[in-house]
C-alpha cells in the first residue's frame, strides 16, 4: 500500500462513504410500514432511491429547477407512503427525515478522528443545509467544516460542488484529497484538479480499470495509514 504524499486538506463524501444510506432508509421504511416483508421493504427502498436519482438527473440536465435533498426526500416519502397505503401525516413526515438518521460504517468515526489530528478534514455532501448537521450528529461524525452542495444549487458531480470544497480548503487543488466510495464522485473531483482516493463500501460504485485514482483502499484504516505514513 503506497503512501499518499503532499496532501494538505482531506475532503470526504458523506452519503455511502461514511454512512450506510440504504440501511438507514430501510430502517425508516420499516418504522413507517412495520408489517412489510423484507422483499416489500426492498421494493419501497428502490422506489425512494429511484426517485432521488431521477430528479437529481433532471436537475443536472436543466429539466427541473434546483430542489434540495430535503425536498426530494419528502417527495420520495410521499411516494413510498402512497405505495404502502400509509396515510398518517405524522408517520409520513417522520419518514421524510429518514435520510437524517443514517448509521455510520464501523470505521467512520474513529477514522475521521485519527485524520483530524493531522489534517483539516471537510465533509462535502449532497445533503441539504438543514439536513447535514442532523445527519452528522446522528452518526457522530466530527468535522472541521461540513459543506452542503445546496450552497451552489447543484448536486455532485457538478464541478461547482467540488470548487466549493477547494474554496474552503484554500490551497492548490493538487494538495486536496477527495475521498469517496463512488467512482463517479471521484471522477468529478478529478476533473477539477483534486487528488482522489477510493474507499470500498458495499453500497458504493467501484472504479473501473480505466480509473486512475491516487489510491484504492478497503477501509478508512488503510487510508489513514497511507496518509500518515512517515
Distance (Å, whole) CA 73 – CA 67: 10
Distance (Å, whole) CA 174 – CA 196: 9
Tell me the average pLDDT of the chain.
96
- Which tens digits make up the pLDDT trace of 126-170? 999 999 999 999 999 999 999 999 999 999 999 999 999 999 999
Distance (Å, whole) CA 101 – CA 79: 19
Is 0.85 topped by the overall pTM? Answer: yes
Angle, helices 69-84/131-139, rounded to nearest 10 degrees: 70
pLDDT on residue 1? 60
- Which tens digits make up the pLDDT trace of 68-127? 999 999 999 999 999 999 999 999 999 999 999 999 999 999 999 999 999 999 999 999
CATH architecture of 9-20+102-228: 3-Layer(aba) Sandwich (3.40)
Angle, helices 38-60/21-32, rounded to nearest 10 degrees: 120
pLDDT on residue 40? 94
For the chain, the domains span 9-20+102-228, 21-99
**Is the pLDDT assigned to residue 186 strictly greater than 80?**
yes
pLDDT on residue 124? 98
Stretch 208-217: mean pLDDT: 97
Helix (H), strand (E), coil (C) string for 11-73: EECCECCCECHHHHHHHHHHHHCCCCCHHHHHHHHHHHHHHHHHHHHHHHCCCCCCCCHHHHH
C-alpha cell at 197: 482516493
pLDDT on residue 3? 82
| CA of residue 212 relative to chain centroid, distance | 21
pLDDT on residue 230? 79
Contact 31, 44 (CB under 8 A): no
Amino acid at each position: 500500500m503506497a503512501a499518499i504524499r503532499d496532501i494538505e486538506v482531506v475532503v470526504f463524501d458523506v452519503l455511502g462513504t461514511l454512512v450506510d444510506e440504504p440501511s438507514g432508509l430501510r430502517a425508516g421504511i420499516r418504522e413507517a410500514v412495520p408489517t412489510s416483508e423484507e422483499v416489500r421493504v426492498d421494493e419501497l427502498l428502490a422506489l425512494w432511491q429511484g426517485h432521488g436519482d431521477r430528479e437529481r438527473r433532471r436537475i443536472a440536465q436543466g429539466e427541473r429547477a434546483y430542489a434540495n435533498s430535503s425536498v426530494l426526500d419528502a417527495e420520495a416519502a410521499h411516494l413510498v407512503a402512497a405505495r404502502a397505503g400509509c396515510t398518517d401525516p405524522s408517520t409520513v413526515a417522520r419518514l421524510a427525515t429518514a435520510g437524517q438518521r443514517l448509521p455510520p460504517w464501523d470505521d467512520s468515526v474513529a477514522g475521521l478522528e485519527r485524520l483530524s489530528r493531522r489534517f483539516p478534514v471537510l465533509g462535502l455532501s449532497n445533503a441539504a443545509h438543514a439536513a447535514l448537521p442532523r445527519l452528522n450528529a446522528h452518526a457522530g461524525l466530527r468535522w472541521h467544516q461540513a459543506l452542503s452542495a445546496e450552497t451552489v444549487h447543484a448536486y455532485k458531480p457538478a464541478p461547482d460542488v467540488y470548487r466549493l470544497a477547494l474554496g474552503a480548503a484554500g490551497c492548490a487543488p493538487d494538495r486536496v484529497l477527495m475521498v469517496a466510495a463512488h467512482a463517479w464522485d471521484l471522477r468529478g473531483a478529478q476533473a477539477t484538479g483534486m487528488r482522489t482516493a477510493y474507499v470500498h463500501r458495499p453500497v458504493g460504485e467501484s472504479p473501473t480499470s480505466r480509473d486512475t485514482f491516487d489510491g484504492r483502499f478497503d477501509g478508512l484504516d488503510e487510508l489513514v495509514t497511507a496518509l500518515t505514513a512517515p
